[in-house]
Amino acid sequence: MTERPDRLEWVGHSCVVIDLDGVRLVTDPLLADRFGHLRRMAAPAALPRHVDAALVSHLHLDHLHGPSLRRIAPRLLVAPRGAARFLADVDPVRVVEVEEGDEVAVGPLTIRAVHADHDGRRRPGLPAAPALGYVVRGAQTVYFAGDTGPFAAMAGLVAPPLDVALLPVWGWGRRLGPGHLDPLSAAQALTLLGPRRAVPVHWGTYAPAWTRRPSAQGFLNDPPRDFARHAARLAPGVEVVVLEPGGSMALDPA
């Protein structure tokens, strides 16, 4: 833990660096230029250094990525129960497995695991593992939704005040499967969560390797703008901050 200004940086996909109260957290670290059938369509990811804790929302490869975890070498890894068996090839790190409602202290911050509506198992046929979101509370409160579809219990999920909501608004292909927010449902979620600011994530970073860039511009670029447009209509009191991969913003107090 070191003295840093309070800010967050969206590295891309679901990977966000949160600097708050001298603690550095990284959500769902994914720094690869290519993995599986996906390649990075945005600029190469910068390597976060001196990471106090990594927060993993679920076991899918684009959220729990061993090579990326090895590169950032977090002092602590917080992940859903059942994740440890997929981390044998990661350099020794303290792993805390959590379920909904569990809390973990990292310096002055409290991290609470909360519900996410998503199938978080690594592959079909393997034992079910929960998908989670995380509420980070310190001088400010940040909600990282992970991967999730809409659910009614978002109302009251985060006790006010909620300063920033990091909400997924798309994925890595032309279509979304179940258990995901799209631009409209993410904007509707704002009416339940009531954040002061919202940052759309999980868009515009990865696509199938055979994707042609000109034909992909719509699904790579449109979701956050569509989210902002829906949010202006449904939740006009929420400030939407659209960052490009690698972009950052200050976590200013209210």
Answer yes or no: is 184 within a domain: yes
pLDDT at 120: 58
Say whether pLDDT at 155 is over 80: yes
Say whether pLDDT at 42 is over 70: yes
Our count of domains for the chain comes to: 1
Contacts of 162 (CB under 8 A, 6+ apart): 141, 143, 193, 194, 195, 196
Answer yes or no: is 36 within a domain: yes
Answer yes or no: is 102 within a domain: yes
Answer yes or no: is 2 within a domain: no
pLDDT at 3: 75
Answer yes or no: is 217 within a domain: yes
Answer yes or no: is 1 within a domain: no
Answer yes or no: is 70 within a domain: yes
Residue whose C-alpha is closest to residue 14's, from 2, 3, 30: 30
Say whether pLDDT at 169 is over 90: yes
pLDDT at 43: 93
The model carries a pTM of 0.95
| Structural contact between residues 154 and 189, judged by C-beta atoms closer than 8 angstroms | yes
Say whether pLDDT at 4 is over 90: no
The CATH number linked to 145 is 3.60.15.10
Per-residue pLDDT reduced to its tens digit, 64-89: 999 999 999 999 999 999 888 877 76
Per-residue pLDDT reduced to its tens digit, 96-136: 999 999 999 999 999 999 999 988 566 655 556 789 999 99
Contacts of 225 (CB under 8 A, 6+ apart): 242
Give the domain range for residue 148: 7-250
Identify the helix (H) or strand (E) that includes residue 103.
strand 103-106
Answer yes or no: is 100 within a domain: yes
Residue 185's pLDDT band, with cuts at 50, 70 and 90, is very high
Per-residue pLDDT reduced to its tens digit, 6-33: 999 999 999 999 999 999 999 999 999 9
Instruction: For the chain, give the mean pLDDT.
Output: 92
H helix runs in 91-209, sequence order: 183-193
Chain centroid, CA 118 distance in Å: 13
